[in-house]
Chains A and B, each alone.
Chain A
Amino acid sequence: MNNATPGTAFAIDVRGLKKRFGKKIAVDGVDIQVPEGEVWGFLGPNGSGKTTTIRMLCGLLRPDAGEGTCIGYDVLREPEKIKREVGYMTQKFSYWEDLSIRENLDFVARVYGLDNRKQRVQDTLKRLGLSERQNQLAGELSGGWKQRMALAACMLHEPRLLLLDEPTAGVDPQARRDFWEEIHLLSREGLTVLVTTHYMDEAERCDKIVYISAGRVVTRGTVREVIEQSGLVTFVIGGPDVRRFIPQLEGAPGVEHVAFFGALLHVSGYDRNLLSAALAPLKNISGLEISETAPSLEDVFIDLQRPRRQAA
């Protein structure tokens, strides 16, 4: 199925992408190399430049600097060719709300000049379980169905690369799970996917992740690599009412951040000795269980989002 152009092992291969809006530098030298057929997560806080980067990849914004290719076409010189073979799902739902699901797909099929239009639309509707709702107006759909329709529309023309910008924001867990199953299915068929998300469980479903902050790549790799590269040490504290310790721990030397999730207090820092010292006063309190664990991706991201962090 996957007909890779000889010589390009990368579906996305860009270096030094830069984009500024007035004085604000939205993207500041981003390099991304995504091998064909992989699913990559693109993460970072709001306003870090994810959407802008994706728009540059698919020819919607012209980079101020940088170079590279997307599915073998030059991002600066061949945006029209890229558009033809990339499926882009915008962050905000951008299909026509006053058209039905079917009419939206018909429009897309016509614009891409697809043969057997009716059949293709029919098949895609079926594949994504949209057949019964095909005559509903897109504007009347709930978030999950909208997202499903958008996915249907952007894979209708059998793109080689999918760029999905926060496709699961505001979608319920079951719909998210279904969505990711579809993504993995497509990936097995040879499609390359770059997807932005704020969900840790989704990041963990990716082959690799790229994390950007303030327009720069801060870390990248598999989930395991990202955790290892962080150099973070994390202790968890369990027990009744552990949250009351947050204030005293947050200011302590060696403690980078404290987070409460999974009914446990996660206390992270870079220096094991300093952390132990900070936790020492709690060791005598009965009912508390304190132990060191491997930091979770969430611990790492909370840490990465702290303003003073620099690129590794």
Chain B
Amino acid sequence: MSARNATQGFSPARVIAVLVKEFIQMRRDRFTFSIMVMVPTMQLLLFGFAINSDPRALPTAVHIADEGRYARSILAALRNSDYFDLRATAATPADAERMLNDGDVAFVITIPTDFTRDIVRGASPQLLLEADATDPAAASNAVAAFNMLTENALSDDLVGPLGKRKAPPAFTAVVHRLYNPDGITHYNIVPGLIGVILTMTMVMVTAMAMTRERERGTFENLLAMPVHPFEVMLGKIIPYIVVGYVQVTLVLLGARYIFHVPMLGSLLLLGSAIGVFIAANLALGFTFSTIARNQLQAMQMTVFFLLPSILLSGFMFPFRGMPHWAQAISEILPNTHFQRVVRGILLKGNGFAEIWPNIWPLLLFLGAIGTLAMLRYRRTLD
């Protein structure tokens, strides 16, 4: 019959057919649509404001065993910093320890005897920061600030021959606590949110998409039509890629204008990397939807995947602080690689060469999961 287009292979027209249908359905489904806008907004506000991983004005005690001018400069610098609230002076080291132990203070800073004299002599005395490490994440910024500040505190004082003395430094700042190399900051969290939000919504929405067809009985109709699984997958995924970019834009705008996150790298590069990441998540969601029998199961599978994606990806806890088995798991998760990519591009100004080691695992994941989805997609009702 002349009406029929005889193409057997891949047909862009059929992809468009599915695409148009999905867009119409998405437009009518106010609830899902509002979820997809609400989730990034809520998360941005929650993680950005409410969950303050960068607390300031932490109670601090000082134990001062030197009254010299350099000791005074250090104290002045500490007072000027937002991070430390110098609220107590410890008479003895034992006193200081008790305060830390009782939780009266979060830090004890000790300026040793002969601090000033040793600097003048070039003996590089030690400035000690003892931190309450029970909440290492909370303290990490203060620790970082301590390192910075002690380095700069004496720059005005050390003029003449002492200032020229590049190495060894005038004194060393010693921090006693578990070192947290990734130091979670505000800047880290907000870009990282992009990965979490995309994982959450993209996987969930596609996982539901096919399951919904099955639950409503429209799947049988879809199967009875001459449309290839790959065409269905593309048609269902593309609309959500658009949605994903809308979410990303929301978060990036928030990052820029509310949280003033630096954006050092190329946004075009970031956009492309996000495309790969979104596709990987959508393919996974599609695979879930070929396995789940109903929307509840699809939801549960999404949550099951989401938890490690949040906890193990380096978003919440520093990757290098995790045991090896957890690191091995997280290397499989797209979000782990994406966290490195997004932070690399925004915060470190990484280019393509630097992010490639984290892009190819995403592509590999996409290829493998996409193939699995195609294999799982049954062309019959069996």
Tell me if A181 is interfacial: C-beta within 8 Å of chain B: no
Residue on A with the closest CB to B219? A94
Question: Smallest distance from the beta carbon of A259 to chain B beta carbons, Å?
Answer: 34
Q: Which of A86, A96, A157 contacts B3 (CB 8 A)?
A: A157
CB proximity of B152 to chain A, nearest CB, Å: 62
Is the CB of B272 closer than 8 A to any CB of chain A? no
Whether A61 contacts B381 by the Cβ 8 Å rule is yes
Inter-chain contact B224/A83, CB cutoff 8 Å: yes
**Interchain residue pairs A-B with the least CB separation, the first 5:** A113-B5, A110-B17, A94-B221, A88-B224, A84-B226
Q: Which chain B positions have C-beta within 8 A of A292? A: none
**Which A residues are closer than 8 A to B by beta carbons?**
3, 55, 58-62, 79-80, 83-86, 88, 90, 92-99, 103, 106-108, 110-115, 120, 157-158, 160
| B89 interface residue per 8 A CB criterion | no
Q: Is the CB–CB distance between B14 and A113 below 8 Å?
A: yes
Q: In the bound complex, what is the Cα–Cα distance between A76 and B363 (angstroms)?
A: 36
A96 near B225: Cβ-Cβ < 8 Å: no
Chain B hits for A92, CB < 8 A: 217
Question: By the criterion CB–CB under 8 Å, are A158 and B3 in contact?
Answer: yes
Chain B hits for A157, CB < 8 A: 3-4
CB–CB B28/A98 < 8 A: yes
| Set of chain A residues within 8 Å of B16, measured between Cβ atoms | 110
**Bound complex: CA A235 to CA B102 (Å):** 102
Chain B residue nearest to A108 (CB atoms) is: B225
A-side interface mostly: loop
Given A80-B226, A103-B24, A62 contacting B5 (CB threshold 8 A)? no
A111 CB contact (under 8 Å) in B2, B8, B227: B227
Give every chain B residue within 8 A of A103 (Cβ-Cβ): 21, 24
With a cutoff of 8 Å between Cβ atoms, the chain B residues found around residue A160 in the complex are 1
Q: Mark B205-220, 1 if CB is under 8 A from A, else 0.
A: 0000000000011111
Residue of A nearest to B26 (CB): A98
The answer to whether B20 and A93 touch across the interface, beta carbons within 8 angstroms, is no
**Could you say which of A61, A62, A96, A114 contacts B21, with CB atoms under 8 Å apart?**
A96
Q: Which residues from chain B contact A55 at a C-beta distance below 8 Å?
A: 381
The residue from B3, B216, B220, B226 contacting A120, defined by CB atoms under 8 A apart? B3
Q: How far is the CA of A58 from the CA of B381 in the complex (A)?
A: 11
A60 contacts B381, CB within 8 Å?
A: yes
B218 and A94 form a contact (CB under 8 A): yes
Additional pairs, 14, CB under 8 Å, beyond known A113-B13, A157-B4? A61-B382, A62-B380, A80-B8, A83-B226, A84-B226, A90-B217, A97-B216, A103-B24, A107-B20, A112-B226, A114-B5, A115-B3, A157-B3, A158-B3
A114 in contact with B3 given A61-B380, A95-B221 (CB within 8 Å)? yes
Is B25 among interface residues, defined by CB-CB distance under 8 A? yes
Contact A94 B226, beta carbon cutoff 8 Å? no
- Whether B223 sits at the interface, judged by CB under 8 Å, is yes
Is the Cβ of A99 less than 8 Å from the Cβ of B3?
Answer: no
Q: Once the chains are docked, how many angstroms separate the CA of A41 from the CA of B218?
A: 25
Task: Please indicate the chain A residues that have their CB under 8 angstroms from the CB of B34 in the complex.
Answer: none
Q: Which residues of B contact A158 (CB under 8 A)?
A: 1, 3-4
**7 A-B residue pairings within 8 Å (CB atoms):** A92-B217, A94-B217, A95-B218, A107-B17, A108-B225, A111-B227, A112-B226
Least CB distance from A158 to B in Å reads 5
- B4 and A58 contacting across the interface, CB-CB below 8 Å: no
